Chains A and B, each alone.
Chain A
Amino acid sequence: MYLSTVSRPVTDPPETGPHRRRLAMVSGNVVALGAVSLITDISAEMVAAVLPLYLVLGLQLSPVAFGVLDGVHTGATALLRVVGGYAADRFRRRKLIAGIGYTLSAVAKLGLLLAGRSVPAIGAVIAVDRLGKGVRSAPRDALITLSTPPEALGRAFGVHRAMDSVGAFLGPLAAFAVLLVVGESYDAVFVTSFCVAALAVVVLVLFVRERPPGEPTDGPDDPKVSVREAFGLLRSRPTRRIVLAAALLGLATIGDGFVYLLLQRRADLDLHWFPLLAVGTSLAYLLLAAPFGVLADRIGRLPVVIGGYSALGAAYLLLAGPVDGWPLIALTLALYGAFYAATDGVLIALAGPVLPTRLRTTGIALVQTGQALAYLVSSVLFGLAWQAWGPGNAIRAAAVAVAGVLVVTLLLLASPSRLVTRKVPR
């Protein structure tokens, strides 16, 4: 229902009464970014779906060689994400930086063809793909916040994330369709994936705007954002608090791999069904992202984020609790998908208005990087907890951590005057 009326720009003239605004949905720029994400995710998930087949059956790589591919690029990606965010702000070229990110990932698909059987080359190609993903997220989200009035940010992110997950859903289907036609020619999947990704770049170039229509372009006299100013971002209390809260919340997230592994063990699920656990989560995410975004605009973003993490805590408790079999799977996946729907975009919607427009991309990159690094730490900690206490107690400890982090987050962020009603400086 959100997608059918989205093309109406939210910046429509005066009749923008409360009722009118609800109908106005999201701006053209958000729809364009959503379309780019949708198409890009088809491309990315096509490759993700066949890469194991390609590496193991096509190239005959062994498990440890594959482990090497996993790589330790997270640190470098995190740094470059912030650098990319800063460049987008300094040159006021968010669209360009996002476009570079999308292009890098597209080119990486062709790189898989050229890498051949070389494990280091495949590792490098995957690193480039990750780099592209890291570089584009912050400018893309910054463009969403800059094309949307603050009071409609939740809905804008909800619609964007829903479109994104539709692409993630279609990708594996597209890959299998290609393989059905061409047989075991993984090359054809990579080339198709590249073509799909290139189409996304075309859509980005043509339809995504650097700034909303009517927005004055920056005068040549406006001082450029300096590195000093970017560092100063962390000296501002509200920014520091939101980055800290995002990282803390990340620390309470043990990662999909562990959740699905525990679920499979608890429910004694046949391993064949394992990949469908991720599909179930995506489905819940896809269906709930837009409604939760709208809800966030109505009742406030912080309550929705808190609700999302409560759903995460509840999912953890379920994994340690008395429920078994299919009810356990259905409930856990619904809660887990709800967690993503209530937090992924909504957290950025919460952060966006706190960050000054001039440094919006850098700020969003900081929030996302803080989270990404925290995920890394939390998955290591959870692995250690599992070794020390066993899976049952480890997941109970994770649930306790969620509760603790929620209290701290409330203390950090619950000052409505600063976070909810503050207007975006234009």
Chain B
Amino acid sequence: MTALSTRAKLGVVAASAVLLGSVAAGYAATAAEPARTPPSATGDQAVTLEPGARLLAITDRHVSTVAAADPAGPRTVSGLECLRVYAAAGIGVCLKPETAWSYQVVVLDAALRQTRAVSVPGLPNRARVSASGRMVSWTTFVGGDSYTSSGFSTRTGILDTTTGATVSSLEEFAITRDGRSYRSPDVNFWGVTFTADDNHFYATMSTGATRYLVRGDVAARTVETLKENVECPSLSPDGTRVAFKEAIDADPAKGWRLSVLDLATMRVTATAETNSVDDQAAWLDGGTLAYTRRQDDGQPDVWSVPADGSGTPKLTIPGAESPAPLG
């Protein structure tokens, strides 16, 4: 080694740079994804969010609908690219790429026309519309600056589509935990679901190593904790139950069991889905939950299961994610 002259060493470095550069370039050339082409609309009509016996879902990153009676059957796919979608009463919310590095929350009318757009920091994760179509909520992840230091957090926002009033982060709300006022820099919120009054909501709050179900009040700007180890709540159409994912042994590293909480008795019933479900479920009707389950290679499918713990999970929309009922 020491026998090499500086010139020879520089030569070796240059040769290594060229070699390693070609390895990187060669890999990039084979790995480069072909540009995503929006799947062309199949079926006769365009995608609409008008209430009807259809299910809304994302197919290959695009908004699509299927008939509720034949969800695995013919699919109508729009040209609108979204990572997450939800709709109710003819109003939709879509978490949509804005540039290669940023996303926006887009409020849609029944014909998928954009009525409002809010730029959001971070990466899209959850989206919800209240049953009346008035209140919209979203959750994004905000990355840390260095992955060798700690640092992932979530931002959950709420928009009132009638007034345009926006809460950019639930972290601004006053917190009551176990009956006492609480604050902490590590508080994160995610997964909002609205009640029928378009003011109250349920969501997940995390602080320390614990994740709580919270009940919030948009007008009063408050949240209070109700129960531990409840994530991604989804309120049933009659407002009596919350579907959620329950970390197995309260340890998210072991995965999540899709379960249902009765709000009157606070009793939890596990569904028949034994695979880990990492999603905010949607109620297809008063007794059925739909959710995204991923195959080992990450490919999503929409499954459904009875909410009362009976029956077995059923593959509902193959190759789709982010389900929502339109009916």
Contact = CB atoms under 8 A, between A and B. Distances in A.
A12 to B, nearest CB: 16
B161 to A, nearest CB: 21
A274 B121 contact: yes
Contacts of B102: 272
Given A183-B33, A192-B24, A205-B1, A66 B152 contact: yes
A130 B24 CA distance: 23
Nearest to A391: B185
Contacts of B27: 187-188, 191-192
A275 B83 CA distance: 22
Contacts of B32: 181-183, 185, 188
A271 B13 contact: no
Nearest to B157: A271
B303 to A, nearest CB: 15
A196 B21 CA distance: 8
A241 B130 CA distance: 62
B143 A206 contact: no
B83 A63 contact: no
Contacts of A185: 28, 31-33
Given A52-B143, A183-B32, A188-B31, A199 B148 contact: no
B119 interface: yes
A382 B48 CA distance: 51
Interface residues of A, number: 68
Interface string B31-67: 1111110000000000000000000000000000000
Interface in B127-160: 141-155
Interface string A366-386: 000000000000000011001
B116 interface: no
A93 B100 CA distance: 46
Interface string A196-221: 10110011011100000000000000
B152 A272 contact: no
Contact of A65 (B83, B183, B190, B252): B252
B142 A117 contact: no
Interface residues of B, number: 64
Contacts of B247: 64
Nearest to A279: B145
Nearest to A70: B150
B231 interface: yes
Nearest to B6: A207
Nearest to A188: B28
A179 interface: yes
A62 interface: yes
Nearest to B123: A56
Contact of B296 (A117, A196, A272): A117
B125 interface: yes
29 contacts: A45-B146, A52-B143, A56-B125, A56-B141, A57-B83, A61-B278, A63-B206, A64-B211, A67-B252, A70-B152, A117-B297, A181-B32, A182-B32, A184-B33, A188-B28, A195-B21, A195-B23, A198-B16, A199-B17, A202-B12, A202-B13, A206-B9, A256-B145, A260-B145, A270-B121, A271-B155, A275-B143, A278-B145, A387-B185
B52 to A, nearest CB: 29
Given A51-B147, A383-B184, A66 B20 contact: no
Interface string A34-61: 0000000000110110011100111111
Contacts of B1: 205-206
A209 to B, nearest CB: 8
Contacts of A187: 27, 31
A3 interface: no
